[in-house]
Amino acid sequence: MTPHPDGPGPGPAEPPPARCPVHPALSDSGPVDLLGPENEKDPMGLYERLRVEHGPVAPIVLDGGIPAWLLLGYRENLEVSRTPSRFSRDSRHWHAWKDGGIGADSPLLPVVGWQPMCTFADGDEHERLRAALTESMGRFDRRGIRRHVTRFTHQLVNDFCADGGAEMVTAFAEQLPMLVLTQLLGMPDEYGPRLVEATRDLMKGTETALRSDAYVTGALKGLVDRKRADPGEDLASWLLAHPSGLTEEEVVQHLRLVLLTGNETTTNLMANTLRMVLTDPRFRASLAGGQMTLPDAIEHVLWNEPPLTVVPGRWATGDTELGGQRIKAGDMLLLGLAAGNVDPAIRPDIGAPMYGNRSHLAFSGGPHECPGQDIGRAITDTAIDTLLLRLPDLRLAVEESELSWLSSWISRHLVALPVEFMPRRPEPDIVDEPAASVLPSRPRARPTPEREPAPAPLAPAAEGPGAMASGHVPWWTALWRRLLGRPSGSAPYGRRPGAP
């Protein structure tokens, strides 16, 4: 097949291929910018148009002109992710990088700028870094993680259950994963809300991305300093102590990686699964009738709405062929996970249910396949299960057609999920369990330290979360009490007007 003239990489221009008569506008206006408005509005529509025009591997541009290849085929995605010798994870292979085409202020930098972490490593170096991560993450007891999720779910539900309604993306799906992840990392709860904002912003590739990235990295550096002096039973301390011998910078970068990939992805999975549970009659009927479990429903969502639509990236180590396109050494390839999952070559009947089938691309494949997938599934599953137990009459408060999504170049985010239910009293406070009780029963080297103070920029002294922390009262509980005009020490809950 003739290489596409708009294809990435330096090289002589070649004649354009035959145009698709149905979609002339696409090629007439040049290659699609994945950070542009067309992708923002309807990424799935865009992928299908690209597939019609180019086949399983399509030329696109990033940030107004940097060329790259978007993989639309299921097989091509697997081939690239499973062949690191041809398609490296090391962005320093990128010719745009070598040619100085990526400015220091590029919004792509937080996601593709090379950093000393396993995402950008191949071979032995990747194994060294990844072993530290997977072995440390493997020390978490699954039941312990579920207990964290249950506790935070109850606390979040307590914040809105007396209201008879809530917006579940902001009040729930965007809060819970970060609250759980900060616990796993060893951070105090108080970091959660600000980190939610900062991590989302830096993944969007907007002009504030670099500032948000600096905030996240600063918070993690502070954590690592504290854990070096006073280790606990958490990811930060375990990474510092791992025999792979990670440097302090490597530990910070891997904690950042866990926060970034773990939060945005699990938030999206939770929001989309909840949306389907509330809107899709098959799910409601099946869940009620016991034919399909919540984990099955989650896999279905991972097929049709993978939390990361695109993964940047891989870089060709030499000239090669893929999906009929000629790829040049140093070209960037983007794994199109959402497009690959609906590739007609493997899913000729797109409406056929995929319950329980785990062969989707949502966690990618090959040596970099997501090591946190079971944690992401456990958070989503436990949270929705607990939520539905607390609010079994939960229903959508708007027409399904009113729901909308916002897309960035790498993910697609449900904007809002307004729900309603019968107002209920909050349940009694769930006591903050000490870390030891949610961890496997292994001897602890030293007592779990007291909560650490929140960093200055996060907490306006007397009012902020840091102030609450000293009394061991979670910030949301204290806020709730303030809103209802109750002192911290009073009996926590009472009826609201109209509550049953």
Question: Under the rule (CB under 6 A), what is the footprint of ligand HEM?
Answer: 81, 118-119, 130, 133, 257-258, 261-262, 265-266, 269, 307-308, 311, 362-364, 368, 370-373, 375-376
Closest to ligand HEM by CB, 257 or 414: 257
Structural tokens at position 292: 């399909």
> Which sign does the torsion angle of CA 237, 238, 239, 240 carry?
positive
Nearest-approach distance from CB 440 to ligand HEM, in angstroms: 17
Nearest-approach distance from CB 169 to ligand HEM, in angstroms: 16
Closest to ligand HEM by CB, 27 or 382: 382
127-144 burial by CB neighbour count: b if 16+ within 10 A, else e? ebbbebbeebbeebeeeb
Structural tokens at position 35: 């950070």
Do residues 254 and 235 make contact, with C-beta atoms less than 8 angstroms apart?
A: no
Nearest-approach distance from CB 148 to ligand HEM, in angstroms: 12
Task: Count the alpha carbons within 13 Å of 78 in the hemisphere toward its beta carbon.
Answer: 9
Strands (E), 94-149: none
Residues in CB range of 206: below 8 A, 6 or more apart = 107
Nearest-approach distance from CB 307 to ligand HEM, in angstroms: 4
Q: What are the helix (H) ranges across 190-246?
A: 192-204, 209-229, 235-241
Nearest-approach distance from CB 381 to ligand HEM, in angstroms: 10
Nearest-approach distance from CB 130 to ligand HEM, in angstroms: 5
Closest to ligand HEM by CB, 244 or 373: 373
Closest to ligand HEM by CB, 370 or 388: 370
Closest to ligand HEM by CB, 4 or 300: 300
Instruction: Count the residues in the chain.
Output: 500
Only one residue has tokens 């699609």, namely: 32
User: Which DSSP letter does residue 17 get?
Assistant: P
CA-to-CA dists, residue 275 to 51, 397, 415, angstroms: 28, 11, 11
Closest to ligand HEM by CB, 150 or 163: 150
Closest to ligand HEM by CB, 9 or 376: 376
Nearest-approach distance from CB 459 to ligand HEM, in angstroms: 25
Nearest-approach distance from CB 362 to ligand HEM, in angstroms: 5
Nearest-approach distance from CB 188 to ligand HEM, in angstroms: 18
Strands (E), 72-197: 87-88, 165-167
Q: Burial level of 371, CB count in 10 A (0-12/13-18/19+)?
A: middle
Which residue's C-beta sits nearest to ligand HEM? 372
Closest CA to 250 of 217, 212, 202: 217
Do residues 162 and 423 make contact, with C-beta atoms less than 8 angstroms apart?
A: yes
Closest to ligand HEM by CB, 121 or 292: 121
Closest CA to 65 of 93, 124, 106, 104: 106
Strand partners, 98: none
